[in-house]
Amino acid sequence: MSGAGDREAVFPTRQSLGAMKNKLKGAETGHSLLKRKSEALTKYRAEITRRIDEAKRKMGRVMQIAAFSLAEVTYAVGGDIGYQIQESAKQARFRVRTKQENVSGVFLPQFESYTTEGNNDFGLTGLGKGGQQVQRCRETYTRAVETLVELASLQTAFVTLDEVIKVVNRRVNAIEHVIIPRTENTIKYINSELDELDREEFYRLKKVKSNKQRDNNAAEQEEKASKRRGSDKENADDPGATDILGEQEDQDVIF
Amino acid sequence: MEGLFFNVNGGYIEGVVRGYRNSLLNGQNYSNLTQCETIDDVKLQLSPAYGDFLASLPPNPSTSSLANKTTDKLVAEFRYIQGQAVGTLAKFMEYLTYGYMIDNVALLITGTLHERDTRELLERCHPLGWFETMPVLCVATNIEELYNSVLIETPLAAYFKGSLSHQDLDELNIEIIRNTLYKNYLEDFYKFVTEHPELKDTPTSEVMAEVLEFEADRRAINITLNSFGTELSKQDRNKLYPSFGGLYPEGTLMLSRADDIEGVSLAVSGNHDYKSYFDSVGMSGGMGGSGPGNMSGGGGSDGKSLEDMFYQKEMEISKSAFTRQFTHAVIYAWVKLREQEIRNITWIAECIAQNQKERIGNYISVF
């Protein structure tokens, strides 16, 4: 085989050589673009990882405070108010909306939390005693849930990003290690085939030329030989030399 | 004179209650408890006082199960005393349970309103507030039925009558219902201890009047503070104030007009005790930003909130109730002290479980 590696099944023609060259150029451009994208994404992922780390630490602290404020409520109210709270909550006060962020062509989902104002379903809980603690506890838990939403947003972004980075890296590697070498191989193969053809052609031409020359030479020789033979005969007896003034009857010239 | 015949009916019970009082945890026990590293250690420290009741707990129990078991002991002792009580004392003890009944009924009303299976709720009810007809409440499926045929049969019927109609049950916030009931209950209880012929002018009425007046004031102040920023209007709020107590009527009137914490502080300024509480938690100075009643807020100079102060005061009144003899008030005081003890234990256990030792000293110990 010409070319050590695999190559594409093309006919080694000039046209396909041109196509291959275009393809190689395209692959190289694509490779550098993808490489840059992958680098950008990896950088972004590192940033997200750092933020996830921060958010997780924050969550630990906030959840601890929140759990403790619940303990305060239990202490102040002196009983379980869970059922009452559950039943009196009718509408979600804390809501989450999603949006998309575009990071080098990747759409990352983002969660955004917001509280609907004026929605205070259990504002009267613990009216007799412990109401302040209940409200405070709600605030701390709101903060805790905010942290959770933030973390969820980051984690989802991370997972999506990770997937995309994997795909991009796979593409980069595929281009770098498969497509480019293969195209190069093909080009090499086409080149070598074309050279081969060239050489064959050249050889053929040479052969034709040499044959022709040989033939010419032979013809020349023969001509020469026959010429020499002819002059000898002329010299020896020249039957052709007729006496035009002789007695041979002239042929009638008929007009 | 009142002591002459008291012991005929109440002597034994008073003795028993004083015995119970001696088994309450004291400062030494509490400081031991705060040194604990795990819940198991807490359990061990509590075993002299609560041995039998905590024995069935698994290792490292949750704080709520710990609280349940300690409550069980209170209930068991309460039931024992109730079993011995006769005459006015029996009635007195019934009054004690009404407060819990109100909570239970409020819970069941909430369940009925939201069309839940109220049978599941029976387990959540406070055992002291259990009354015979309570499971019947679960039969009612809508609020009208509940009001017309079931609530009428409960001991609380009198508190519903006249102040709440069945439409109210549907429309009003359950907290307002609960507090209306509680107000009627406090007024009724107050009337009972001060006007009942057998209790009038006895130590019982003296001590209980003090306790209930304090309770009334506390509720009035708390309701006012907690209603800021909610949809509770001033008129509605005014209806929730008990019509007796140290603040009644001028203070209550001022409370009903208060718009902010300073207003409350002004309203209670006639009473030296409350004024000093407000001063010490720094709320009269307009530090309302961090909110009153929060225990960790920057308002309190020594980490005490208004709520803590009230609890402290309640415990002191309860403690001093034991200095009187020939009175039913010791039972009330004992129940309150024991409740506070359960709260303290839960608090300490919670602090240990959550590893937040810096605030572990927030319990209230009077002995």
Q: Are A108 and A99 in contact (CB under 8 A)?
A: no
In angstroms, the separation between the Cα of residue A132 and the nearest Cα of chain B is 6
Looking only at the bridges linking them, the beta strands covering A94-103 and A106-115 are: antiparallel
Does B219 contact chain A (CB < 8 Å)? yes
> CA-CA distance, B17 to B328, in Å (whole number)?
10
Asked whether residue A2 carries a pLDDT value surpassing 60, the answer given is no
In angstroms, the separation between the Cα of residue A80 and the nearest Cα of chain B is 8
Backbone angles phi, psi at A127, to 5 degrees: -60, -40
Residue in A closest to B229 by C-alpha: A123
ipTM: 0.77
> CA-CA distance, A206 to A204, in Å (whole number)?
5
Q: Are B39 and B63 in contact (CB under 8 A)?
A: yes
Point out the least confidently predicted range of A197-211, A236-250, B250-264, B347-361.
Answer: A236-250
> CA-CA distance, A112 to A152, in Å (whole number)?
10
With an 8 Å Cβ cutoff, the interface of chain A facing chain B consists of 64, 67-68, 71-72, 74-76, 78-80, 83-84, 87-88, 120, 123-133, 135-136
Residue in B closest to A136 by C-alpha: B294
Does B127 contact chain A (CB < 8 Å)? no
Point out the least confidently predicted range of A117-126, B72-81, B263-272, B278-287.
Answer: B278-287
Does B125 contact chain A (CB < 8 Å)? no
Q: Between these two residues, B103 and A46, which has the higher pLDDT value?
A: A46
The pLDDT of residue A1 is 44
Bridge partners, A109 (sequence order): A100
In angstroms, the separation between the Cα of residue B180 and the nearest Cα of chain A is 10
Using a CB-CB distance cutoff of 8 angstroms, which residues of chain A are in contact with residue B346? 71, 74-75
Cα Rg of chain A (Å, integer):
49
Q: Which of A83, A124, A126 sits opposite B176 (nearest CB)?
A: A124
pLDDT tens-digit readout, B211-238? 999 999 888 888 888 887 777 788 888 8
**Total Cβ atoms within 10 A of residue B40:** 14
Residues contacting residue B355 through CB under 8 Å, at least 6 positions apart: none
Does B186 contact chain A (CB < 8 Å)? no
With an 8 Å Cβ cutoff, are B107 and A80 in contact?
no
Which of the given ranges, A56-65, B58-67, B242-251, B262-271, has the highest pLDDT on average? A56-65
pLDDT tens-digit readout, B73-99? 999 999 999 988 888 888 889 888 988
> What's the token pair of residue A152?
């969820």
Mean of pLDDT values over A185-199:
90
The pLDDT of residue A107 is 85
> CA-CA distance, B203 to A114, in Å (whole number)?
58
In angstroms, the separation between the Cα of residue B107 and the nearest Cα of chain A is 7
Residue in B closest to A81 by C-alpha: B107
Q: In chain B, positions 94-123, which contact chain A (CB-CB < 8 Å)?
A: 103, 106-107, 110-111, 113-114, 116, 121
Q: What is the pTM of this model?
A: 0.77
3-state helix, strand, coil in chain B (%, to 5): 70, 0, 30
Which of the given ranges, A102-116, A226-240, B17-31, has the highest pLDDT on average? B17-31
Does B358 contact chain A (CB < 8 Å)? no
The pLDDT of residue B291 is 42
With an 8 Å Cβ cutoff, are A127 and B354 in contact?
no
In angstroms, the separation between the Cα of residue B126 and the nearest Cα of chain A is 9
Asked whether residue B264 carries a pLDDT value surpassing 50, the answer given is yes
Q: Which of A68, A78, A79 sits opposite B354 (nearest CB)?
A: A68
Cα Rg of chain B (Å, integer):
21
With an 8 Å Cβ cutoff, are B346 and A74 in contact?
yes
The pLDDT of residue A245 is 66
Nearest to B181 by CA among B105, B238, B96, B124: B105
Q: Are B290 and B309 in contact (CB under 8 A)?
A: no
Q: Between these two residues, B117 and B33, which has the higher pLDDT value?
A: B33
What is the pLDDT of chain A when averaged over all its residues?
83
Residues contacting residue A90 through CB under 8 Å, at least 6 positions apart: A121
Mean of pLDDT values over A111-123:
72
Q: How confident is the model at residue B363 (pLDDT cuts 50, 70, 90)?
A: confident
Q: Which of B111, B124, B225 sits opposite A80 (nearest CB)?
A: B124
> CA-CA distance, B189 to B169, in Å (whole number)?
23
In angstroms, the separation between the Cα of residue B352 and the nearest Cα of chain A is 11
The separation between CA B344 and the C-alpha centre of its own chain, rounded to angstroms, equals 14
Point out the least confidently predicted range of A129-143, B6-20, B22-36.
Answer: A129-143
Does B336 contact chain A (CB < 8 Å)? no
With an 8 Å Cβ cutoff, are B222 and A80 in contact?
no
Cis before B292 (ω within 30) = no
Q: How confident is the model at residue A52 (pLDDT cuts 50, 70, 90)?
A: very high
> CA-CA distance, B107 to B109, in Å (whole number)?
5
**Total Cβ atoms within 10 A of residue A76:** 25
Residues contacting residue B134 through CB under 8 Å, at least 6 positions apart: B101, B104, B105, B108, B122, B125, B154
Q: How confident is the model at residue B296 (pLDDT cuts 50, 70, 90)?
A: very low
The pLDDT of residue B232 is 77
Does B313 contact chain A (CB < 8 Å)? no
SS3 A128: coil
In angstroms, the separation between the Cα of residue A28 and the nearest Cα of chain B is 59
Asked whether residue B288 carries a pLDDT value surpassing 50, the answer given is no
In angstroms, the separation between the Cα of residue A89 and the nearest Cα of chain B is 11
With an 8 Å Cβ cutoff, are B110 and A120 in contact?
no
> What's the token pair of residue B69?
């078991």
Does B177 contact chain A (CB < 8 Å)? no
